Chain A
Amino acid sequence: MTFHSFLIKYGEIGIKGKNRYLFEDALVRQMRHALKDVDGEFNVHKAQGRVYVDCEGEYDYEETVESLKRVFGIVGICPVVKLEDQGFEQLKKDVVAYVDEMYPDKNQTFKVEARRSRKNYPLNSMEMNCDLGEVLLETFPELKVDVHKPDLMIHVEVRDHFIYLYSEIIPGAGGMPVGTNGKAMLLLSGGIDSPVAGYMVSKRGVGLEATYFHAPPYTSERAKEKVVDLARLVSKYSGPIKLNIVNFTDIQLYIYEKCPHEELTIIMRRYMMMIAEHFAKESGCLGLITGESIGQVASQTMQSLAATNEVCTLPVYRPLIGFDKQEIVDVALKIDTYETSILPFEDCCTIFVAKHPVTKPNIERIKKSETHLQEKIDELFDEAIQSVETMIVK
């Protein structure tokens, strides 16, 4: 079956009142971006309160659908057969041929759903439903009608020059088009969680920037590559990501030297939040995103989260907060980041980790420990910020 067009179903955008056009325009923009590198000519346009992708000439069906499935805001993708209007008798034949080819197994229930935007069509919608249903029943005796919960919903749309036929809905990514909800700064490590966190927030229409902390020579060039690869995978959904790579070695060693070992991770994470927030504010991000989930590790207990949260003024979004590890892994598998995440390179959170890190840090005590850093920390902080290497990952 050759499809000439895709009807795009979007859910939540539809209810946005007077802002609706903003969301639709963002959706169209994101779809065009997603189809940029796909083989074929595509015309993405809005018509009668719907978004269509018309495919002119040859195109790669699989690749097109895969690309559209990554656009946030799309709830369903319906592959459409476009017919020339050659009278109702011809339409009957075409509908029969369509059903025959699409559904080799005829032991199903169906319903015809006709709709006319060209109101001068000789039959009205109800008449079309009846007559098309009748001819289907006559041709395929195994088919049965069910107007409430049909297995097949056969849509027939009469438009100005063509008649559109579709019955399949391929589920989309859901969410809202990126760019409709500002942007946020993702703290990206090489692990499983943070790419998933970025994906989840981006799904709600938020553009992403990211900050990664590396600690040469304790972490390798390959660990950095891996993070760039992860950002690239997330960007297939979120659109281009500005990635800040910060050299964290000196701060880390300084904390290691001056503070109690079991508090190292918490203090380190506080500084990471501060640095990420610095870049976030610099580029107009409206929040920070982390992949934390309550209790997953020592630094993610409620007390630890409170201690790291305390240094930020921007809101910190933790979309995985209530997820179990397996639930996070499931999403990572779905968005294809899992395999990259589990490559065995050391990240800077684990290198000096204490055997028994504090699990219930007391903020006042942490602050007191941090006073040991007074002498050099501001200078190191500035140096870390100066050290940033920035790239656009797409």
Chain B
Amino acid sequence: MEVYLDNSATTKCYPEVAETVTKIMCEDYGNPSSMHKKGLDAEHVVRDAKETFSKLLKVGEKTLFFTSGGTESDNLALIGCARANKRRGNHLITTQIEHDAVINTMRYLEEEEGFRVTYLPVDENGRVKLDALKEALRQDTILVSIMYVNNEVGSVQPIQEAVQIVKNFNRNILFHSDAVQGFGKYRIYPKRMGIDLLSVSSHKIHGPKGVGLLYVGENVKITPIAYGGGQQKNVRSGTENVPGIAGMAAAASLIYQDLEEHTEKLRSLKARFIEGVQTIEATKVHGITDERSAPHIISVGFSGIRSEVLLHSLEEKGVYVSSGSACASNHPAISGVLKGMGVRQEFLDSTLRFSLSEFTTQEEIDYTLETLYNCVPMLRKYTRR
């Protein structure tokens, strides 16, 4: 049996989406900037995609920019806005648990461009401390970036409250949210919520890799970070990834079609998994598990077993998971998120992330639990003395 529980790393493409992408690559392959009909057809594809997202996010089509993925969306939002608004101040705020695409961009702005950055701590549930946010706000703060859902433990951030705190302090401060893990799980309406910039990725919602979206509110000043042919209102130059964009739009439509139904199913699978996994001795499910956590992410520590070893044992049985965050697990540094949450030492190096999708079945969950019941005691027998 093959069980893919690494959907926060990437997801399987919807077959319909793959078909759409193929069709556009083979038939509507024009360049949207070309003057002829082939170009016009491609432009229509991009416009249709914009319309889809404009409806899903309830924002104007002019506010949407297609990028190469979540990382580029985050880079464009942070670097582009920091530079464009530098005259108003040079202080930025983010959290300690952001994805590397935000953390390392912030570090770059700090080290190379002279911005000051405050990294907010989180509570034991992996949610940003709002008190700390209040204290961090300053006269020269120009941008705050807080993720929607944490990718390692699935904690949903108190975005609405955070936006209010920021805007009450100074409504000119821009608010960015990396919604790569939240989009497709929640109905997110950035304009209504007061979010100025929102990053989305296609391959986390059963779309193709290499494409993403950035919402940039109407009055937000932003400068490009790459220069070229001036496409997308000169904010993001480069020929649009037409097949990717169409694929992402198709995937978004599909994932939001039965969202509530899927969410309910994910929640019940998650509850079933948590209940099962907690029967294993010396095991800890990190963070909160109720509605304040994402329906698809479960982070579990197995005391006494190095996460990589358990990961490979599960892999042998066809179960694919990740240790910490898959994007960051090439370098075996211990998760900053877990540390930030104050998770005990014994779990830091022995935590796995299980992330579900709408394709996950109850049989798969049960099989995974069964596999854990077998592997965990066996591996504990041979722990490092």
Binding site for B on A (CB under 8 A): 216-221, 253, 256-257, 261, 344, 346, 351-352, 354
User: Which stretch in B163-171, B193-201, B289-297, B310-318 binds the other chain?
Assistant: B310-318
* Neighbour of B331 across the interface among A217, A221, A261, A344, CB < 8 A: A344
Collect the chain A residues with CB atoms within 8 Å of residue B382's CB: 253, 256-257, 352
Q: Is the CB of B384 within 8 A of A220?
A: no
* Neighbour of A217 across the interface among B309, B332, B384, B385, CB < 8 A: B309
Binding site for A on B (CB under 8 A): 308-313, 315-316, 331-332, 379, 382, 384-385
Residue on B nearest A343 in the bound complex, by CB: B330
Q: Is the CB of A352 within 8 A of B312?
A: no
What separation, in Å, do the CA atoms of A126 and B313 have in the docked complex? 77
Residue on A nearest B332 in the bound complex, by CB: A344
What separation, in Å, do the CA atoms of A385 and B124 have in the docked complex? 50
The number of residue pairs between A and B whose CB atoms lie closer than 8 Å in the complex comes to 29
Collect the chain A residues with CB atoms within 8 Å of residue B308's CB: 220, 346
Collect the chain A residues with CB atoms within 8 Å of residue B379's CB: 217
A218 in contact with B309 given A256-B382, A352-B384 (CB within 8 Å): yes
Chain B: minimal CB distance from A358 (Å): 15
Chain A: minimal CB distance from B315 (Å): 7
Top 3 closest pairs, chain A to chain B, by CB: A217-B312, A217-B313, A261-B385
Question: What are 6 A-B residue pairs whose CB atoms fall within 8 Å in the complex?
Answer: A216-B316, A217-B312, A217-B313, A346-B308, A352-B385, A354-B385
Chain A: minimal CB distance from B316 (Å): 6
Chain B: minimal CB distance from A261 (Å): 5
What separation, in Å, do the CA atoms of A352 and B384 have in the docked complex? 6
Q: Is the CB of A218 within 8 A of B332?
A: no
Chain A: minimal CB distance from B324 (Å): 14
What separation, in Å, do the CA atoms of A253 and B331 have in the docked complex? 27
Collect the chain B residues with CB atoms within 8 Å of residue A216's CB: 312, 316
What separation, in Å, do the CA atoms of A354 and B385 have in the docked complex? 7
A218, A253, A256, A344 — which one has the most chain B CB atoms within 10 A of its CB? A218
Collect the chain B residues with CB atoms within 8 Å of residue A354's CB: 385
Collect the chain A residues with CB atoms within 8 Å of residue B385's CB: 261, 352, 354
What separation, in Å, do the CA atoms of A257 and B331 have in the docked complex? 31
What separation, in Å, do the CA atoms of A219 and B312 have in the docked complex? 8
Collect the chain B residues with CB atoms within 8 Å of residue A261's CB: 385
Q: A344-B331, A352-B384 are in contact. List 20 more A-B contacts (CB 8 A).
A: A216-B312, A216-B316, A217-B309, A217-B311, A217-B312, A217-B316, A217-B379, A218-B312, A219-B312, A220-B312, A221-B312, A221-B315, A253-B382, A256-B382, A257-B382, A261-B385, A344-B332, A351-B384, A352-B385, A354-B385
